[in-house]
Structure 1
Amino acid sequence: MAYPLARMQEFMLHHYSNDHQKMGVYHGQESFDIYDDNLSLTAFKKALEMLVHKHPTLRTVFITSNGKPVCQVVKKNLKFSINEQDISNIKSDEQENYIDEVVKQDRQNLFNVENPYEPLFRLWLFQKAKNRFEFLMSIHHAITDGWSSIEFLNQLYDLYSALKKQEEITVLPTANVYKEFVALEKEIISSPDASNFWKLHLINYTYKPLKPISASVNQVETVAEEYHFDSEIIAGLRELCRKLKVSPKAIFLSTYVDLIATVIKENIVSVGVISNGRTEKLSDPFAALGLFWNIVPLCQPIIRDKNVQIKNVQESLINIEPYVRYPLLKILSDQQEIELFFATFNFVNFHNDKNNFEHLGLKVHRIRLHDKFNFPLNYAVSMESVSANASIHVEYDQMYFSSQDIRSMLQNYLEILKNTINGG
């Protein structure tokens, strides 16, 4: 089954192949420490095989011509291997160092996108002890997103649990929902309404590129900062949401807009907002795996009254919603620009995140995460649906920011947020 690429896939593949600094741009890696009293690596491997058979996106490859992708193909059968290593005979800190080295080498070993026989993912199982192993998945971002990652893990652990109990399971290939997503994108690209909306949205905005602080960076390590919001901030945030009748996303995003304004010293700011494309127009939007999102420029003037600004951001989010599937590449070409922002914002609130596999007898703990964009600055705010715990993950490019810059900016972000919450 061959069909066109989504524009965001084209965008990611371009930046993946032009990652001259070898930073692992759009080369996703995630690893989990898994403890199970009744461990069966055979059942775990079987569950992985079943999921590759089930999900078209995991059997997707790109057909290229002169180094450029021309279409994507879902293969009926895709040969892949599970790299299994027993490292139980070495000390725990040496185990971590060993896996760190595997992760680093994997990131430097790019997926060969031009080879239609090579999967766009790699899997490892490191046995750490009798009842404990680490599962590492490395995957090209052009075939996956954050929601997919959680959905994949949910299905993996459920299948693993059923296989251990020797239940009869039949897993059939699912419909290719991503093909529907690409068709919907084609539809919105041909919409004059969508094109005109973005032209109007950006009418008063002129992009000024960020100047690098360094000519090049020898980067292999993941460069990121993480911060967990305390309960006082969360309580204040929820109270402000009620008072202003806005979403937490609007408050976090308005704060980010303020932060970027202090960096560029401008009073009109554009940030790239990650938009979810899992719409009810798709036949099975939530169980499907694939890259179901886009990045759109949210342009916002800075005003003194922060409550009004937050309401304006909320209104902007509502206004852009019908047009968030209009591809970034198309917005850029319509504006005759190469870039429209250097900073992205992602509000992550996945209600499919069970985050508790104790009922399956598993103790699962994520250890490693590499999720690198090509943009200089990327803030992802995660909010858990049930507990409302929130954290912020900052990923950045050392060509533009030092680690000191990033820590200082994160501190500034928190101060702006606290002042807004406290009515300062």
Structure 2
Amino acid sequence: MKIKDIYPLTPLQEGIFFHWHVSKNVYFEQSSYEVSGELKVELLHKAFDFIVSRHDALRTCFNNTIGNDILQVVVESIPSGFTYQDESANEIFSLENFKKADKKRGFNLYKGSQIRLTVLKLGENTFEFIWSHHHIILDGWSIGILINEFFYVYRCLLENKPFTLSPPPSYSEYIKWLMKLDKENMASYWEQYLSGFNAHTGLPHFNPENQNSEKTEGEIFHKISEKNKKALTALCQKNGITENIFMQTVWAIVLAKYNNTDDVVFGSVVSGRSSEIDRIEEMLGLFINTIPVRIKFDSKKAIKDILIENQKAYINGISNHYIQLAEIQSKSNLTHQLFDTIMVYENYPIQENLINELDNSSQDALKIMAVKTYEQSNYDFVIMVLPGNDTVIRFVYNAQKYDHDFIAEIKNLFERIYSKILKNPDSLFFEIKEVLDPVEKKDSEIKLQGYRIQLSEIENALQQYKKIKSAIVLVDDKDNQGKLFAFYTSHEKLTEKQVRAYLVKKMPSYMIPSKLIGVEEFPILSNGKINKEALITLAQETTKNSAYSLPRNELEAKILSIWKIILQKEVIGIQDNFFEIGGNSISLMKMVALINKELNINLKVLNAYQFTNIETLTSHIKEDIEHGLEKVDEKNTKSVDIVNQTMSILKNKQTIS
């Protein structure tokens, strides 16, 4: 394959690339269209291949084996991702099973195209179009362009008419524009923006996942009534605010209530399409980014005034939307994930535009009967606002972590808040918050490094491990460090590595205890209760001098030297947590790439994410090398020819280093 272009990743692409290494099924997107009409398979095939040849984003793969940066590589041509199957006579064929298998197949970001189209014939003039792609190459706006162009080209082929499409603007122009931005200035903006924010504001009711179970998606819909829709439109127009800002403010009030705070941060997806770039609205690619939204409430201010302030804050921050979330995170006081809920305001009505396009076509063209979409993000809770004549709100959640009744409670609270605001936008914030039902605080809740944590949830997760009999989690506040220690009794001897690997699958990293200690039995006081002080003393003894423990062997020393290069730090102990000393998802990938290069192994990003200090990471590497599990095999899935061409081009390309 011949390379056409090479350029770096956008901020969100870097994050998605990391999460793909951790879990191959996240950010897989699938749209299924039920279609009726006469179909010319060969023309559909030609239309698909033409669209792929037209847009660079559809011929892109990724490379992280050259230098310290991840690159996206555009090839001149690529094998067709079009498939046609006639299942009309297959009585046992299951469309749902086919779509599940397609999801499981996923994509290999290292090679080939990251998009495919399968056309299934299910009956006489009845078809299913299944579009699958990886989110790393396309955002929602781009999907709208892609689908409309595809059916336009098909219609032209069907009617034997010439295409009147202009040459598409190049995604590389957007990348060049991004590279010229002042990242340091943006980082300073976010540091100031998040200054003083010290407490994570997420949702409670975390339920540990079932071990080895896949993430399953739950969803609750809410439609805004016609009366409220009119009131919302009037409020926004009168005060110069957008519907997006209104919805963000409502969600912030929900989080303020659940976290008993007036200072809230959550995530928001922004378009990333700057008007400074010519024909940006016609480009295909991933432009969106996820940024934090911080809303601080003044109890004595009217909600209307808070809405106006939030709108101004959004406008003032637009020029700083083009930075990696990991970089923003590093500027905050929180050492782990800044937020775990996001809001998406979808202003790209794909289905409506597509139906209009087909309705304007000839009688021989296809008709869309129904559209179903599937997407899986890395977040466990997403609010998706779909504006239009009927604004619909989707509450999408990870059913392994939140139960349906709780999300229904969230939906009802959201509705009550916006209804009250629309009824009287001059209401003060404390008046809105006061009428809401109080949120019960659990006895075992603590606040650690800015995060609210239920100790009982960690204990329950440990006790779900079949080999563990009982568990207790304690907090050590010595020297104001605030560390979590977990103690357990088990049916058989377990290593800390085994237990940690289990917990990593069950909960966010900030909930995982610093030490996991197995004991034969818990020490008991004379009153029959567990001697917690004795357990904490035991934990302190096992971790003494861990603040700066020197490497004990050659492998630990080698890993330490790599960490120093990646993190640009000279003082690192073998028990220091990678993320707590300045690491993030992007630097983690760079660290893994350098380890693999220096040690000639195939360490997975997921394993580095699980074992976050040098001591446990080295132990994992050593154990897997001894068992022959770290052989360099994944690199064979990457085209050697592509790598060689990339190296050659980079020597002559000054814009990328």
For residue 11 of structure 1, the aligned residue among 9, 15, 26 is 15
Judge conservation of contact 2:200–2:265 (CA < 8 Å) in 1. no
Residue 39 (structure 2) aligns with: 39
Tell me how far 1:15 sits from its aligned partner: 0.9
Residue 205 (structure 1) aligns with: 197
Change (3 A) 1:365 1:418: farther
Does structure 1 residue 343 correspond to structure 2 residue 341? yes
- CA separation in 2, counterparts of 1:32 and 1:396? 24
Structure number with the bigger relative contact order (C-alpha 8 A, sep ≥ 6) is 1
Per-residue deviation, residues 66-112 of structure 1 (Å, max 9, x unmatched): 99972111110011232212222357xx76xx221122122222312
Judge conservation of contact 2:271–2:288 (CA < 8 Å) in 1. yes
Per-residue deviation, residues 287-342 of structure 1 (Å, max 9, x unmatched): 21110011111100134432222222212211211211223222123337432111
Does structure 1 residue 323 correspond to structure 2 residue 316? no
**1:10 corresponds to which letter in structure 2?**
E
Change (3 A) 1:374 1:68: farther
Judge conservation of contact 1:30–1:366 (CA < 8 Å) in 2. no
- CA separation in 1, counterparts of 2:10 and 2:238? 40
Tell me how far 1:170 sits from its aligned partner: 8.1
Change (3 A) 1:45 1:170: farther
Per-residue deviation, residues 193-212 of structure 1 (Å, max 9, x unmatched): x2221111111212427573
Residue 329 (structure 2) aligns with: 332
Change (3 A) 1:3 1:260: same
Tell me how far 1:4 sits from its aligned partner: 1.1
- CA separation in 1, counterparts of 2:151 and 2:346? 22
Matches within 5 A, 1:13-32: 13-19=17-23, 24-32=25-33
Partner SS, residue 332 of structure 1: helix
Does structure 1 residue 251 correspond to structure 2 residue 255? no
Residue 95 (structure 2) aligns with: 99
Per-residue deviation, residues 255-307 of structure 1 (Å, max 9, x unmatched): 11112223333221111111111112223211211100111111001344322
Change (3 A) 1:181 1:101: same
Change (3 A) 1:136 1:68: farther
- CA separation in 2, counterparts of 1:227 and 1:306? 23
Judge conservation of contact 2:57–2:137 (CA < 8 Å) in 1. yes
- Higher deviation after alignment, 324-333 or 142-151: 324-333
**2:331 corresponds to which letter in structure 1?**
D
Residue 74 (structure 1) aligns with: 74
Partner SS, residue 378 of structure 1: strand
Change (3 A) 1:70 1:246: closer
Partner SS, residue 319 of structure 2: helix
Tell me how far 1:220 sits from its aligned partner: 5.6
- CA separation in 1, counterparts of 2:98 and 2:216? 12
Residue 151 (structure 1) aligns with: 145
Partner SS, residue 120 of structure 2: strand
- Higher deviation after alignment, 315-324 or 304-313: 304-313
Residue 112 (structure 1) aligns with: 108
Tell me how far 1:366 sits from its aligned partner: 4.3
Judge conservation of contact 2:15–2:324 (CA < 8 Å) in 1. no
RMSD of equivalent CA atoms: 2.5
Change (3 A) 1:404 1:7: same
Does structure 1 residue 372 correspond to structure 2 residue 364? no
Per-residue deviation, residues 371-404 of structure 1 (Å, max 9, x unmatched): 22212211111113xxx32111222223432122
Judge conservation of contact 2:195–2:332 (CA < 8 Å) in 1. no
Partner SS, residue 420 of structure 1: helix
Change (3 A) 1:46 1:311: same
Q: What is the TM-score with the length of structure 2 in the denominator?
A: 0.59
Does structure 1 residue 411 correspond to structure 2 residue 424? no
Per-residue deviation, residues 94-153 of structure 1 (Å, max 9, x unmatched): 76xx22112212222231223x2x221222111122322111111111101000111111
Judge conservation of contact 2:81–2:115 (CA < 8 Å) in 1. no
Judge conservation of contact 1:56–1:173 (CA < 8 Å) in 2. no
Residue 292 (structure 2) aligns with: 297
Partner SS, residue 379 of structure 1: strand
Partner SS, residue 157 of structure 1: helix
Partner SS, residue 331 of structure 2: helix
- CA separation in 2, counterparts of 1:415 and 1:392? 14
Judge conservation of contact 1:144–1:291 (CA < 8 Å) in 2. yes
- CA separation in 1, counterparts of 2:198 and 2:180? 28
- Higher deviation after alignment, 45-54 or 65-74: 65-74
Judge conservation of contact 2:216–2:399 (CA < 8 Å) in 1. no
Structure 1: 5+ residue stretches without partners: none
Partner SS, residue 113 of structure 1: coil
Partner SS, residue 88 of structure 1: coil
- CA separation in 2, counterparts of 1:170 and 1:252? 40
Partner SS, residue 72 of structure 1: strand
For residue 184 of structure 1, the aligned residue among 174, 177, 185 is 177
Judge conservation of contact 1:207–1:339 (CA < 8 Å) in 2. no
Judge conservation of contact 2:8–2:69 (CA < 8 Å) in 1. no
Matches within 5 A, 1:255-270: 255-270=250-265
Partner SS, residue 150 of structure 1: helix
Higher CA-based Rg: 2
Q: If each structure's strand is expressed as a fraction of its own residues, which one has the higher value?
A: 1
Judge conservation of contact 2:346–2:385 (CA < 8 Å) in 1. yes
Judge conservation of contact 2:201–2:255 (CA < 8 Å) in 1. no
Judge conservation of contact 1:56–1:174 (CA < 8 Å) in 2. no
For residue 123 of structure 2, the aligned residue among 124, 129, 134 is 129
Partner SS, residue 70 of structure 2: strand
**1:235 corresponds to which letter in structure 2?**
K
Judge conservation of contact 2:380–2:397 (CA < 8 Å) in 1. yes
Residue 353 (structure 2) aligns with: 354
**2:319 corresponds to which letter in structure 1?**
P
Residue 88 (structure 1) aligns with: 88
- CA separation in 2, counterparts of 1:173 and 1:71? 25
Matches within 5 A, 1:392-407: 392-407=393-408
- CA separation in 1, counterparts of 2:224 and 2:67? 44
**2:180 corresponds to which letter in structure 1?**
E
Tell me how far 1:3 sits from its aligned partner: 1.1
**1:104 corresponds to which letter in structure 2?**
K
Partner SS, residue 345 of structure 2: strand
Tell me how far 1:171 sits from its aligned partner: 7.1
Change (3 A) 1:216 1:10: farther
- CA separation in 2, counterparts of 1:181 and 1:332? 24
